[in-house]
Structure 1
């Protein structure tokens, strides 16, 4: 039997000749640090302080991590080293893993649209639609693209609710006014980097005018989508909805971005 002294941890173990230094350390809790155990990571670098003559030949994997000067000084990789007699080894202790903090860390606070705000936007958008003489469908979604309020004016197309939702969903989720995808040299035009994006989400990704992110104090909190008018009319009604929200939230010190070309 041979004796191996693990100097850094202060432990000693006995084993048969031709024992793997790392395996002995693991079995006897000697303390040599390691990760891969196969000569890849270099973590188990250690120094044979006594008995270097009682170790086997240096392996090619060790030379990837140790210089000739290291080897001359007695350094070996424990996972590649087999001992044939008594040795004493030391190593640089692994950096301690910090204890997890149990201090209470508050979650990031965020603004959320609620039915009050959604209804105010719908009222503002439909009032503008009535003024300019177009039957609109208006959809307000939260930041995940799920509807909070959806209203189809009398006489509006039956296809309007789905289209308006698609626009609001896209504006909220992609944080961009939907018409910006198809402006001159827009990213969704044929040959450009986002061509085909309109087929995402089972075709719900809208890339034409009528969807606008709802931005409050710099954060996208939802989307407004409109269907029923031409591009100019959809923009006018969308801006009316955003202005209605701005007027509602102004007394609370919250700023709403009211502009057609929004890209966050």
Structure 2
């Protein structure tokens, strides 16, 4: 079981997301946090917006803190719904639009989170999903090797 995303793994995830950002020709800021939403690594691509530095970090924080992708918070936080005003809590750190995703271990526990900002919400989500997809392939590598019989 993985306790938290390591720095080396965070760098790999950021590399995967950056390749997607380059593919769609949109500079991004990409952040990876641990399970508590504390920053492990962050990269600002050349030409990415300065505001995206805090937005990407806050997207990852939100996903780690609430164990869910940020785009799933949009509807519940609309006026009249149960989470209305959510984005104004937690010192303004909660983000209610797409680009943040939790990273789960094989037992379904949050061990980190991913946040991307710098384009349209759909682009942020696409780039973040590339990092999450890479996580799905590497998280098994952090398990102990099997003992041969």
Match of 1:130 in 2: 22
What is the 5 A alignment of 1:1-264?
A: 111-182=3-74, 186-217=75-106, 218-252=108-142
Contact 2:2–2:105, Cα closer than 8 Å, also in 1? no
Question: 1:251: how far off?
Answer: 3.8
Query: Take 1:252 and 1:223, find their aligned partners in 2: how far apart are those partners?
Result: 17
Q: 1:242 Cα shift?
A: 1.2
Alignment size in residue pairs: 143
RMSD: 1.6
Instruction: Return the offset for 1:110.
Output: 5.6
Structure having the larger proportion of residues in helix? 2
Structure with more relative contact order (C-alpha pairs < 8 Å, separation 6 or more): 2
1:54-75 CA-to-partner distances (Å, cap 9, x unmatched) read: xxxxxxxxxxxxxxxxxxxxxx
Larger Rg: 1 or 2? 1
Question: SS of the residue aligned with 1:138?
Answer: strand
1:147-168 Cα offsets, whole Å, 9 max, x none, are 0001000000011110001100
Structure 1: state its 5+ residue gaps: 1-108, 255-264
**After TM superposition, where is structure 1 displaced by more than 6 Å over at least 4 residues in a row?**
none
Structure 2: how far apart are the matches of 1:151 and 1:113?
Answer: 16
Q: Distance in 2 between matches of 1:245 and 1:195?
A: 32
String of CA shifts for 1:105-131, please: whole Å, max 9, x gaps: xxxx76211101110110000110001
